[in-house]
C-alpha cells in the first residue's frame, strides 16, 4: 500500500469516528460550551500524559507556541459552533452544514498558500452550495443551526490549512497537545458570550451520570486519537482532499443518528437530495483529480 493510499484509508477511519461527535454532543446533557470545555481539558491531560510517557519534546519555540495555540482557539470556536448547531437543529442538519468545508477550502487554501485556484475544486465546492440551497429551501426551520454549522465548517477549513503547514515542522501529537490547550483557553474565554446568547443553559455546566463516559470517549477517541491522526495525514494529503473527505461525515453521522434517535432525525426528501449532491462532489473528486493530472502529464510530454 502506497503512503498516499494508506493515509487516505486512515483519513476515512478518522471521518467515521468524527461521525459520532454530533451524536455524542446530543447525548451529553451539558451545554455546548461546557462540552468543549471538558473535551479539550481531558484531551490536554491525556496528551500531556502520553507525551511524558513517550518522552517527546514539548519544545516548539516561542513564536510557534503562539501560532499553534492560536490555531487551537479557532478549533475551540469551531467545536462550540458545531455542538450548538446540533442543539438548535438536528445532528443531520449540523453534519450537512459541516460538509461545506470543501467549498471554503477551495477558496481559503489558495489564499493562504499562494497557489492558484483550481477550477475543478471550485466547481465541486459550488456543487456543495447548490446542495445546501436545496436543503435551505425545504428545511428552513433549521436555518439557525445550519448557519452555525456552515460557520463552523469555514473555521474548520482555516485550521486545516494552517495545520497542513505546522505538521511539516512538529510532531502531530505535540501539535494536538498545544492546540487542545488553546481550544480549552478559547472555551473559557467564550463562556460569557455563549451564556449571553444561550442564557437558558447558564446552570447546565456540571456533567451527570453517563455524561462523564461520553466526554471521555469524545476526548480520548474522537479528539486525541482521531484529531492527532488527521494532523499526521496532512503530511501527505492536501487540506482540500482532507476537508473534501470529511464531507463523508454526514453519511456515517446521519445513519448513526437515525439508528440512535429514530424519527427525530427523519428529514424531508429535499434534504436527502441536497445531501446527495453534496456527497457526489466528494465521490467525484478523486476521478476528476486523476483526469486533470493525466491531461497535465500528457501536455508536458507533447511539449
Q: What is the pLDDT of residues 92-150, one digit of tens each?
A: 888 888 878 877 887 888 888 777 777 887 788 788 778 878 877 777 788 889 899 99
pLDDT value of residue 181: 97
Helix (H) or strand (E) holding 37: helix 32-53
Spatial distance between the Cα atoms of 122 and 134, rounded to a whole number of angstroms: 19
Other Cβ atoms closer than 10 A to 265: 20
Spatial distance between the Cα atoms of 258 and 273, rounded to a whole number of angstroms: 17
The alpha carbon dihedral of 263, 20, 104, 281 has a sign of negative
Q: If DSSP codes are grouped into helix, strand and coil, which group holds residue 118? A: coil
Q: Tally the domains of the chain.
A: 1
Taking alpha carbons only, the member of 100, 98, 96, 148 closest to residue 128 is 100
Spatial distance between the Cα atoms of 133 and 67, rounded to a whole number of angstroms: 35
Spatial distance between the Cα atoms of 170 and 173, rounded to a whole number of angstroms: 9
Residue at grid coordinates 508536458: 300
Spatial distance between the Cα atoms of 45 and 293, rounded to a whole number of angstroms: 44
pLDDT value of residue 184: 97
**Length of the chain measured in residues:** 303
Which segments in the chain show pLDDT lower than 70? Answer: 1-2, 198-203, 243-244, 247, 263-265, 282-283, 286, 299-303
Range of the domain at 249: 3-302
Amino acid at each position: 500500500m502506497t503512503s498516499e493510499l494508506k493515509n487516505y484509508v486512515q483519513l476515512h477511519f478518522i471521518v467515521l469516528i468524527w461521525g459520532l461527535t454530533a451524536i455524542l454532543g446530543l447525548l451529553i446533557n451539558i451545554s455546548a460550551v461546557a462540552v468543549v470545555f471538558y473535551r479539550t481539558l481531558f484531551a490536554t491531560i491525556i496528551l500531556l500524559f502520553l507525551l511524558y510517557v513517550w518522552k517527546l519534546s514539548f519544545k516548539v519555540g516561542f513564536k510557534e507556541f503562539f501560532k499553534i495555540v492560536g490555531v487551537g482557539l479557532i478549533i475551540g470556536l469551531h467545536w462550540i459552533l458545531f455542538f450548538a448547531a446540533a442543539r438548535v437543529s438536528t445532528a443531520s442538519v449540523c453534519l450537512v452544514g459541516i460538509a461545506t468545508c470543501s467549498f471554503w477550502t477551495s477558496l481559503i487554501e489558495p489564499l493562504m498558500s499562494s497557489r492558484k485556484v483550481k477550477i475543478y475544486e471550485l466547481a465541486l465546492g459550488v456543487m456543495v452550495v447548490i446542495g445546501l440551497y436545496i436543503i435551505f429551501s425545504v428545511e428552513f426551520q433549521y436555518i439557525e443551526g445550519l448557519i452555525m454549522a456552515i460557520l463552523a465548517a469555514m473555521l474548520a477549513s482555516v485550521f486545516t490549512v494552517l495545520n497542513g503547514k505546522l505538521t511539516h515542522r512538529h510532531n502531530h501529537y505535540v501539535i494536538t497537545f498545544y492546540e487542545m490547550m488553546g481550544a480549552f483557553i478559547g472555551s473559557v474565554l467564550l463562556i460569557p458570550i455563549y451564556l449571553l446568547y444561550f442564557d437558558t443553559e447558564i446552570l447546565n455546566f456540571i456533567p451527570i451520570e453517563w455524561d462523564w463516559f461520553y466526554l471521555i470517549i469524545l476526548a480520548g477517541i474522537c479528539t486525541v486519537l482521531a484529531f492527532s491522526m488527521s494532523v499526521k495525514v496532512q503530511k501527505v494529503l492536501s487540506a482540500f482532499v482532507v476537508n473534501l473527505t470529511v464531507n463523508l461525515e454526514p453519511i456515517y453521522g446521519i445513519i448513526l443518528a437515525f439508528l440512535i434517535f429514530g424519527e427525530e432525525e427523519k428529514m424531508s426528501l429535499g434534504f436527502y437530495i441536497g445531501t446527495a449532491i453534496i456527497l457526489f462532489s466528494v465521490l467525484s473528486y478523486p476521478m476528476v483529480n486523476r483526469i486533470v493530472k493525466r491531461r497535465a502529464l500528457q501536455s508536458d510530454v507533447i511539449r
